[in-house]
Structure formats: C-alpha cells, structure tokens
Amino acid sequence: MNRYNAQRKSRRNKTMKSLVRTGWILLVVLVMANTMQAYESELFSTVDFFRNQYINGYLQPNLYDMSQNPAFFEMAYPENLTIYKLSAQRQLNLYSRYFDPHQEDDIDLDLEWIKQLTTNSTLAAGVQYDRSFHNEVSHSLEKNYYDHYFAFTDTTTGDIEYQGPQLEVLYNHTLANQFLLGLEIDYGVERGLKDIYTECESIFRNIDLKAGLGYLSENNKTIIGVSTRYFNRQGKYEAVKEWEDALVRTWFGYHLYVPENPRRINRKDDNREGYQFGLQFERKEIFNSPLGIRMNGNYGIQKNKIKVGKPTYTRPRGYWERSGYDFTGSIYYISNGIYGQLFFNQCNYDDWASPKNYDVLALKKDEQVQRVGSLINIDVFDPFELDAGFEMRIIKTNYIEYTADFYYNEGRNEKFLLLGTAYNLNSISSIKLLGTQSIIEPDFHWTPTETFNIFGIQTGYVRQFIFGKLEANFNYQVSNPDNVKDKIEKFGFSVIYRK
C-alpha cells in the first residue's frame, strides 16, 4: 500500500500544478452542480466530464466519478480534505414551458469532509442544505413537471419554496493492498410548500445505498470493479382546500389528465424504488505509454407507483417502469503539461406506464443518448494555460402516448464547446475566465422552438491563505431560443473554502 501511495503521490505531484489550474473548467456547470441526485434518485445519473473535479481539487477524471463505485473513492481522493461551499443562483425564465416557474432562486450550503482514518481506510461525509424558490409556477405542483408521467397540477399560479438537508457518508477500505471495498449511504429530505391555496405541501425522502468491490493489480495499472446500488424515494403531495375544494388533476403523460374528486385534501403518493448493477475497468499506462483507458457499464431498473386520493386512503392511479443500460468509456493521455481525454457514453432506456385499473400500455418511451467528446488542457507557457472541451450528443426519442394518440419519434443533436484560460497572478493567487457555447435542439415540450443557442461566461478569483484556499466565482448564462423574442437568463456566484 505504501508503494502504491508513493507512486500515486509522485505522479500526482508532477501533474498537480497543471491539474489544479485546469480545474477552471466548466464552472458554469459547477455552480449549478449540486448533489440534487439525493432528492430525485434516478437511474444512470449523467456523467459530466467537465465538472466537479475542481471543487475537490483534482481535475483528473477518475473511476469513482465515472462509476460512483465507492470502492474507488480513496483512489480518487487520497488526501484529507475539507470543503465549505456557499452558492446562490437565479434563473429568469422569460421564455418557458407552460408548467415551468417564471423565476428560480437557489441557495446551497455544502460542507464536505474526507478523512484518511488509516493507511487503508477512508471516511467521507457531507452535509448539504438547499433552499429553492420557484416563483410564479403555472399550475404545476411538481418541482419539475416535465420529469413526471403522472404529474399533479391545480388551477392556480403561485410560488413554491423547497428546502431540506442531505447527508452523505462513505466508507472505503483496502484489503491486502489489492482488494477495495466501499459503502456509501446518501439520505435526503426535501419539503416544498406552495404559498397560495391549494397550498400544496410536498415531502420527499430519498435513500441511496451504494456498495462496491474493486481489484487492483500488483503493478497498480489495472483496476476491475463491480458495484450495486439500491435507491428508494418516497414522495407525498397534499393539496388542501381553502374555501372551495382542492381541484387537482393527475396527468397521464403530457396530454391527458384525470380531474380528481374535489375534496378537502387531495393526496398523491409517488414512490420509487430501483436497483443498479455496474462493472468497471481501467488500464493505466498502456504499453508504458501515457495513455490509459477507463470503462464503466451499468444495468438498472426502477419502478414508480402513483396513488391518489384522500389522506387516509389513496388508490392506485398509475404505474411506470424504467430499465436500461449505460456505458461510458474514455481514453486519456497524461503527460507533462498536457492532459487530454476522449470520451464516449451511450445510455439506452425504456419507459412504460399503465393506468390504474387496466393492464394496458398507456405510454412508452425509448430513448438513446450517445455522447462523444474531448477535453484538453495545455500549459501554453507559465503562468498561462488553456483549456478546451467539446461534446456532442445525439438523442433519439420514441415517445408514444397511446391513450392520447400522441406520437413523437425524432432525433436531436446537442453540441457543446468550451474555452477557458487561467492566469497565475503570483504564487498565491490566480484568476480565470471561461466561455461556453451550446446549441441544443429541444424536445417536443418546447414546441415550436427548434433550437437554443446558449452562451455562458464565468470568471473567478482564487487565493491561498494560511488557513486554506478561498475562491469566488461569478457566472452568467443566456439561452436564446430561435424565433422567440424572450430568453432564459441565469446568473449567480459561489464562495468556496477548501483546505
């Protein structure tokens, strides 16, 4: 283990300077990126190849971030680390879909600790508190109406506030320097409350358990892993009456709804449960070259049961399942002053749903997402460096609502380009500037808009103090839909303390 650690530290020190600076990458995403996953446990959480390493101080993509196998955590984060982060974000949806909020404000406080307990065991813990304000939400009682096949709506427009804590604990242990064990538990609670009647209160409880095993070859160049995941989400909505009865609707897909019985309280239970299994492989320094390869594959399935009715008794309203697989692969190159990566991701999943009383297929969705891209960081000359990234997505969606006679079968493209630069002012402070551009073809929910042009800019300042590193970031992003005058604007800031 000591030999293994020594090798890693040596390699890390060589590239640390480059890696830390390269961490300016995609902070637009970073500020927005929170572990919201704990509130909405999904299958195959999207791997963002440009994010997250910065906040933890390591740019180099790793097998843990790719696979979420807790067995590989210590390999990715081998040092004690403390991170405090406060971020605030505002999004103005001057152009929006019918059920979207017109304004979203998010405030997040994130505390994370990584502690090496012994030479072969690591403990990580995190506490996060989020507060979100969704203002002028049109009818929807969901946090994101378009993520639900059985969404709950009422007849009013109001503001909804969401808040709640999330807890994360991860334990990682190494046996005989070669066998890696890991266990991760994420738990989150979120409460939402609408400010006007139906004053709908929503409460979500998520638990996400991950366990993993890994094998590390004697020469530390080959890694094999297997992981499993179980997640369970319990969601509850209660829309209450003021003077008139609560008049709510439960949607079946996006074109049909059931007017629920008017009553004093209308309740919806939305419970989700799922499993995921994964295999990982990594080979470093192929033929003693700076090249490496990394792969992760997952299979998963989840089910959702929706019940609606009185608080004392809810009846089945619908059922839907999602199953599919996800494969990610990357080839990377690490050399002095240059880091590069080519990546590929394919995610296929099938959804189907049936209504309450009949064993028939009400809707079906098959989606394939293919992603290819690259990321490169070059030390042009000290103290100046350049980052560039590119990603392209091809999305094929076949969505059918049999009951409403709605068919959507389209292919869409998304392109993303990133250019960034960092400049070390002196040995303890640096500044950064980052620009992004995306062209996105949205799905049918955004009809008649066919393309979004998205521009983002991020600037930041980092300073090293005796007590740690302090960092401030500001970001702005604008999304321009074609043929529409209005746009979507997003701006925010974050302050990060890291030690």
Q: How far is the CB of 297 from another protein (least distance, A)?
A: 17
Q: How far is the CB of 165 from another protein (least distance, A)?
A: 29
> For the chain, how many residues are written?
499
CB nearer to another protein: give 143 or 322.
322
CB nearer to another protein: give 272 or 498.
272
Under 8 Å between Cβ of 347 and 368 = yes
Residues contacting residue 292 through CB under 8 Å, at least 6 positions apart: 282, 283, 284, 285, 286, 331, 332, 333, 334
CB nearer to another protein: give 34 or 250.
250
Type of residue found at 443: D
* φ and ψ at residue 288, rounded to 5 degrees: 60, 25
Distance CA(455)–CA(440), nearest Å, equals 11
Q: How far is the CB of 352 from another protein (least distance, A)?
A: 5
Strand ranges, E, within 149-178: 152-175
Task: Give the C-alpha distances (Å, rounded to integers) separating 448 from 188, 255, 442, 445.
Answer: 37, 16, 10, 9
Residues contacting residue 274 through CB under 8 Å, at least 6 positions apart: 41, 43, 230, 231, 232, 300, 301, 302, 303, 322
CB nearer to another protein: give 382 or 405.
405
CB nearer to another protein: give 259 or 448.
259
Per-residue H/E/C for 261-322: CCECEEEEEEEEEEEEEEEEEEECCHHHCCEEEEEEEEEEEEEEEEEEECCCCEEEEEEEEE
CB nearer to another protein: give 48 or 321.
321
Q: How far is the CB of 314 from another protein (least distance, A)?
A: 11
Return the SS3 of 220: coil
Q: How far is the CB of 298 from another protein (least distance, A)?
A: 15
CB nearer to another protein: give 124 or 141.
141
CB nearer to another protein: give 130 or 401.
401
Q: How far is the CB of 6 from another protein (least distance, A)?
A: 36
Return the SS3 of 185: strand
Q: How far is the CB of 326 from another protein (least distance, A)?
A: 18
Residues that bind another protein (CB under 8 A): 241-245, 247, 249, 252, 256-259, 261-263, 273, 275, 301, 303, 309, 315, 319, 321, 352, 354-355, 357-362, 402-403, 405
Under 8 Å between Cβ of 11 and 17 = no
Q: Which residues pair with 108 in a beta bridge?
A: 87, 130
Pair type for strands 201-216 and 256-259: unpaired
| DSSP per-residue letters across 416-476 | EEEEEEEEESSSSEEEEEEEEEEEE---GGGTT---EEEEEEEEEEEEE-SS-EEEEEEEE
Q: How far is the CB of 234 from another protein (least distance, A)?
A: 16
* Among 344, 337, 346, 342, CA closest to 375: 342
Q: How far is the CB of 151 from another protein (least distance, A)?
A: 14
* φ and ψ at residue 221, rounded to 5 degrees: -100, -20
Q: How far is the CB of 245 from another protein (least distance, A)?
A: 5
CB nearer to another protein: give 352 or 493.
352
CB nearer to another protein: give 121 or 403.
403
Q: How far is the CB of 188 from another protein (least distance, A)?
A: 23
CB nearer to another protein: give 86 or 301.
301
Report residue 429 CA to chain centroid gap. 30
Q: How far is the CB of 358 from another protein (least distance, A)?
A: 4
CB nearer to another protein: give 9 or 255.
255
Residues contacting residue 65 through CB under 8 Å, at least 6 positions apart: 47, 52, 53, 76
Under 8 Å between Cβ of 154 and 246 = yes
